[in-house]
Structures are given as C-alpha cells and as structure tokens.
Amino acid sequence: MATQSLLWNSVKKFLACGLIGLTISDRYASIVPVRGASMSPTFNPQARNFTDDYVLVEKFCLKKYEFSHGDVVVFCSPSNHKEKHIKRIIALPGDWIGTSHNSHDDVLKVPKGHCWVEGDNSASSMDSRSFGPIPLGLVKGRVTHVVWPPQRIGLVERVFPQERVSSFK
C-alpha cells in the first residue's frame, strides 16, 4: 500500500538521521545542558532561572588530549561513572597548584597524566579540592560556546587564577 511504503520511508529517514546525529554527537560536537551553580557566573549566573544554560561541547580535543589552562571541560565523575561534571582546568600535569586544605595552605604537584579542575563558583563546587586531581582520560569534551539563552550566546573565555599555579616547562 502507498501509505505503508510512505511510513517505511519515514522510518528509514528517521533512523538515518538518528545515526548521523549520534555519530556527530559522539565524535565531533554536542550540545549539553549545564545544571547547578558551580560554574557561576560563567554558566547559570542566577540560580533562580528556570531554564539551564546550554553549551556546545567539542570532542576534537580528545584526539591528542592537549588542553590549556583555563579550558572548561566535561568529564566523568571519578566517584560515579554515570555522572558527568563541567569544570575548568586550572592546572595541567607537572604544575604546582596552591590549595587550602583543612584551613592551612598547601602546594601540590599535579601528577603525570592528570589535571586539576575547579568550578568558577568556589563557594559551591565539588571539584579537585575534594576529590583531588583527575586523570585526563576522564575528560569527554571541551566547552567552547554558550548557545542558550540567546542573550548570553558567545565564546567561553579561558581564565584561571594565575597566582595559584606555577608551571616550570
């Protein structure tokens, strides 16, 4: 029947689009919502907003795993593999980072293959200050742009507290 072949054509197109979309989202770039206020004011600057920010995450950085100080990245949580977090890379392998542990100041060397991540809103952010440096293999993408809400569409800048990090390269 004509309607059956029309239905089948639609299903085929839908599946093809789905596969292409999944491949692009897996390998190249995807758009994800940001939940929580740990990256205020970069994302979700007002907690009272009902809609989350949406950001563009690119996966090309995963070919070489080369990141810069100040990159905002998406990574799998080291304590729960089903959760993903978005934080900023403050220190790269081999850097010395100043932390404040148990109210006394401490200096830590970031081990080989790891990085130190922190949220922009240090008052309410679960990051490397609680779970330590994370292996770079946990990073699943880099956030490049904010795409929603429209009034805040733009590039995500690379900023980081340079006074707390020393790299001897």
Partner 1 sequence: MIPTFNLTGDMFLAERLSIKFGKVGPGDIVLLRSPESPRKVMVKRLLGLESHSVTYVVDPMNSDRCDTIVVPKGHVWVEGDNIYNSRDSRQFGPVPYSLLEGRVFCKIWPPKEFGSLMKSGMKDPDL
Point out the residues that are catalytic: 38, 87
**3-state DSSP call for residue 91?**
strand
CA distance 73 to 117: 9
Q: Which residues contact 154 (CB under 8 A, 6 or more apart)?
A: 145, 146
The answer to whether 64 contacts partner 1 (rule: CB under 8 A) is yes
Tokens of 135: 């292996």
- Binding to partner 1 by CB under 8 A, coded x per residue (else -) over 137-156, reads xxx-----------------
Are 129 and 118 within 8 A, CB to CB? yes
Per-residue binder mask for partner 1 (CB under 8 A), 15-54, x = binder: ----------------------------------------
| Interacting residue with partner 1 among 34, 72, 90, 134 (CB under 8 A) | 134
Query: Measured from the CB atom, is 19 or 153 closer to partner 1?
Result: 19
Q: Which of 86, 32, 88, 28 is nearest to 60 (CA)?
A: 28
Task: Tell me the closest approach of the beta carbon of residue 131 to partner 1, in angstroms.
Answer: 9
Residues lying near partner 1 in the complex (CB under 8 A) are found at 64-65, 76-81, 111-114, 134-139
